[in-house]
A = this chain, B = another copy of it.
């Protein structure tokens, strides 16, 4: 009886779980920044992102957050149209300029490829 209930529950709700566009690339970047250079780092990151969104058709969105307990612990959520868009992105002038400019500011960098599973939000709400 319990397993029947669970099966029905799965059937009822699984259809609403997001099936992402199979070509889109979702990534989390976790970056530890030198706290003394944090303001400059954020400016350079912002500059890179604005250029990428403006100039590259396959760079779709960036969301950047910082830990409240440690503002130099940065997490970035990145969405690219496909793998080719990402490979093209890292060869652009603005990305190379950013990488060179921040190389002594970034203490560590971890890239985590992820799949989007669920997205849900209020109508007309900006989504993180």
Contacts and interface: CB of A to CB of B under 8 A. Distances in A.
Nearest to A116: B65
Contacts of A115: 65-66, 68, 71
A80 to B, nearest CB: 11
A49 B10 contact: no
Interface string A7-36: 001100110110000000010100000000
Interface string A107-128: 0000011111111111001111
A49 B13 CA distance: 11
Contacts of A83: none
Contacts of A122: 53, 59-61
A47 interface: yes
Interface of A: 6, 9-10, 13-14, 16-17, 26, 28, 39-40, 42-47, 49-50, 53, 59-69, 71, 74-75, 77-79, 112-122, 125-128
Q: Which 8 A-B pairs have the closest CB atoms?
A: A61-B121, A65-B114, A64-B118, A68-B113, A64-B117, A13-B43, A61-B127, A77-B128
